[in-house]
Amino acid sequence: MADVKWIKVVTDMFDNRKIKQIEKLPAGDSIIVIWFKLLCLAGSSNEQGFLLFTNRIPYNLEMLATEFNRPLNTIKLAITTFSEFGMIEIINDAICVCNWEKYQNTDGMDKIREQNRLRQQRHRERQKLLLEQKQNDVTLPVTLPVTLRNALEKDKDKDKEIINKGSKKDKINYQEIVDLYNDTCVSLCHVNKLTDSRKRAIRSRLKNYSLEEITKAFQKAEASDFLKGDNNKNWIADFDFVMRDASLAKILEGSYDNRKAQSSGNKNSFQQNSYDFDALEKELMRN
């Protein structure tokens, strides 16, 4: 997930009762500096306020001491103080900034929402063209975006997708998979950088799944309210989560699908699957 380039800080924050109490501590100035560093690190992690070194490894005290260039004892004092004052909480050994949404830049988030709106509009237009193509059973229209058209044409001939385990040449078009995800999963976290770890994930999944199955998984993820943030933590799935072996299997099996309500009184009502979010968080930390 891309990091947040801004955090919002009010000008009267030093009138806050908690900040005033911290200033009176022996190492108050250092603790306040650590608080600002903590907020910036949470923004860099961009995981709903969680401090994660990677999407699998949370920051511990020793790692924070190295990251912030502060003595370990000072870090311990700061974390204990923040926890007692309700500024952070520890969830499954991961530090999480409380009320993280209040530190988000409203104007910046509005720009992101507008970008997402435009992406969704383009996605609907592409889906409409695909539907017309299926109904008419003709050649793919040339008006389709190049990346999506190439992906669909390539999927017609799977022999063209070469995964040569013994060859030194890598024939996988990684960017095409990322573009397909960004074009399809418009409500999930956008991929801005194709890292080596993401290439490894793509390469591993293509050993067991066809491009058609991966495309279907992207479509099902986009249709899942839970993966789009309709959960008790407002957590939104990202490319790294979707491309995990276990996650991809569960998505294709329908584990994250929305479920129709069983009530006979309202045929149009829907309800989301009941998920154990704590179990999902443990899986995210473990994998």
Domain coordinates in residue numbering, the chain: 13-103, 145-286
- Res. 70: pLDDT tops 50: yes
Higher pLDDT, 102 or 177: 177
- Rounded CA gap, 154 and 130, in Å? 15
Q: What is the distance in angstroms between the CA of the first residue and the CA of the last residue of the chain?
A: 16
- Rounded CA gap, 131 and 219, in Å? 14
Reported confidence tier of residue 131, pLDDT bands at 50, 70, 90:
confident
- The fold of 13-103 is Arc Repressor Mutant, subunit A (1.10.10)
Mean per-residue pLDDT over the chain, rounded: 77
Report H helices in 47-105.
61-68, 72-84
Q: What pLDDT score was predicted for residue 165?
A: 43
Higher pLDDT, 145 or 270: 145
- Res. 182: pLDDT tops 70: yes
Q: Do residues 43 and 4 make contact, with C-beta atoms less than 8 angstroms apart?
A: yes
- Res. 142: pLDDT tops 80: no
Q: What pLDDT score was predicted for residue 287?
A: 52
- Res. 214: pLDDT tops 90: yes
- Res. 266: pLDDT tops 50: no
H or E stretch covering 181: helix 174-184
Q: What torsion, rounded to 10 degrees, do the Cα atoms 185, 189, 190, 193 define?
A: -130
- Rounded CA gap, 250 and 265, in Å? 31
Q: What pLDDT score was predicted for residue 50?
A: 87
Range 252-262 average pLDDT: 78
- Res. 248: pLDDT tops 80: yes
Range 24-34 average pLDDT: 89
Range 133-141 average pLDDT: 56
Range 190-215 average pLDDT: 92
Q: Do residues 64 and 74 make contact, with C-beta atoms less than 8 angstroms apart?
A: no
Q: What pLDDT score was predicted for residue 159?
A: 41
Q: What pLDDT score was predicted for residue 170?
A: 54
Range 186-195 average pLDDT: 90
Q: What share of the chain is helix, strand, coil (3-state, %, to 5)?
A: 55, 5, 40
Would you call 78 helix, strand, or coil by DSSP?
helix
